[in-house]
């Protein structure tokens, strides 16, 4: 099968429209086509990993984008991995804004994955309840235990092991993506970005799967960020007050007044300001 060429603005592939209705099928590709697309995506991902390992970060981004272009759009985990890797490239290139966007996209994909798994679990629980109700209504309440149940049990245990591994993988990618976004936001600076970085680092500090080396980075960031947040806040508030003063002088000038005729008093409890008229001015 020939794999479609990547679009100019790479994104994950959606299943084709239904041939009869023309409506896009939001479930899945045919198994053979799905496997071919995922295989091509993995080839591009491997190439990107090689570029990254040799510090060719721009080329790595290009190959990760190609991997995204051939990855079916319902493989949220695979998309999250690619987006997180792209965020790592942007960090190396010190393109902080792009790193934030890519890391956020990775985290969004993981959230969609969690939501779909939750919905699937709820549907399975509902199906079990219905099956149990049907069994209770049946005349014969005896369940025959077949010899092949051992094989079924082994298969179920294997599936559970795979599920546990996938949970670990998801937690690992969430951790990496959150750390990359926090680093990028801290580097961007500014009151809002620093506050958001602090929130991400706090979330990371509560994660049980965080490696010790990363925990040291998180703890160091949490010790220095409060001071940076306050400094950025004071700076931005000061700049805002300066602009308000300039605007106020323009309004008050026709009345023979200026903002110097007023005194700004800061409330240390709330951080807000009040304005009082200077008597005799």
Comparing 137 with 6, which gets the higher pLDDT? Answer: 137
Q: Cα separation of 272 and 93, whole Å?
A: 39
pLDDT at residue 52 greater than cutoff 90: yes
Q: Cα separation of 247 and 254, whole Å?
A: 13
Across the range 29-34, mean pLDDT stands at 92
- β-pair type (273-277, 262-266): antiparallel
pLDDT in tens, 119-142: 655 555 565 555 555 555 554 544
Structure confidence at residue 158 (pLDDT) = 54
Q: Cα separation of 196 and 280, whole Å?
A: 46
Comparing 138 with 263, which gets the higher pLDDT? Answer: 263
Sign, CA dihedral 139-142-146-152, equals: positive
Structure confidence at residue 240 (pLDDT) = 80
pLDDT at residue 115 greater than cutoff 60: yes
Structure confidence at residue 3 (pLDDT) = 44
Structure confidence at residue 117 (pLDDT) = 64
pLDDT in tens, 137-180: 554 544 444 445 665 565 555 555 557 788 899 999 999 999 99
Band of residue 101 on the pLDDT scale cut at 50, 70, 90: very high
pLDDT in tens, 180-207: 999 999 999 999 999 999 999 999 999 9
pLDDT at residue 35 greater than cutoff 90: yes
Q: Cα separation of 245 and 260, whole Å?
A: 9
Does pTM surpass 0.75? no
Structure confidence at residue 266 (pLDDT) = 76
Sign, CA dihedral 56-57-59-63, equals: positive
Comparing 15 with 25, which gets the higher pLDDT? Answer: 15
**How many Cβ atoms sit within 10 Å of the Cβ of residue 60?**
25
Nearest CA-CA partner of 102 in 152, 64, 158 = 64
Structure confidence at residue 145 (pLDDT) = 43
Lowest-confidence region among 14-23, 69-78, 141-150, 197-206: 141-150
> DSSP letters of 242-266?
HHHHHHHHHHHGGGT--GGGEEEEE
Percentage of residues in the chain with pLDDT exceeding 90?
52
Which position has the token pair 């084709």? 16
Range of 111-115, 146-150, 261-265 with top mean pLDDT: 111-115
Structure confidence at residue 267 (pLDDT) = 79
H/E element, 274 = strand 273-277
Q: Cα separation of 156 and 145, whole Å?
A: 16
Q: What angle do CA 40, 43, 46 make, to 5 degrees?
A: 150
pLDDT in tens, 213-241: 999 999 999 999 999 999 988 988 878 87
């Amino acid at each position: 099968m020939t794999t479609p060429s990547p679009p100019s603005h790479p994104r994950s592939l959606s299943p084709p429209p239904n041939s009869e209705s023309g409506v896009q099928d939001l479930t899945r590709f045919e198994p053979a086509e799905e496997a071919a697309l995922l295989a091509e995506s993995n080839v591009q991902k491997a190439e990107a990993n090689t570029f990254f390992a040799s510090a060719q970060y721009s080329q790595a981004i290009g190959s990760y984008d190609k991997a995204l272009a051939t990855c079916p759009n319902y493989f949220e985990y695979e998309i999250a991995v690619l987006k997180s890797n792209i965020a790592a490239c942007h960090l190396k290139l010190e393109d902080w804004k792009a790193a934030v966007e890519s890391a956020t996209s990775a985290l969004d994909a993981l959230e969609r994955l969690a939501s779909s798994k939750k919905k699937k679990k709820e549907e399975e629980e509902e199906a079990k309840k219905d099956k149990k109700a049907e069994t209770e209504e049946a005349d014969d309440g005896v369940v025959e235990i077949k010899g092949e149940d051992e094989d079924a049990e082994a298969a179920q245990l294997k599936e559970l092991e795979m599920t546990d591994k996938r949970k670990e993988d998801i937690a690992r990618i969430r951790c990496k993506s959150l750390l990359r976004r926090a680093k990028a936001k801290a580097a961007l600076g500014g009151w809002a970005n620093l506050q958001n970085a602090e929130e991400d680092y706090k979330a990371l500090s509560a994660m049980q799967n965080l490696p010790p080396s990363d925990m040291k980075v998180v703890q160091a960031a949490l010790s220095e960020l409060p001071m940076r947040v306050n400094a950025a806040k004071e700076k931005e508030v000061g700049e805002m007050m300066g602009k308000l003063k300039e605007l106020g002088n323009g309004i008050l000038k026709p009345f023979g007044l200026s903002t110097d005729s007023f005194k700004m008093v800061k409330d240390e409890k709330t951080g807000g300001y009040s304005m009082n008229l200077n008597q005799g001015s």
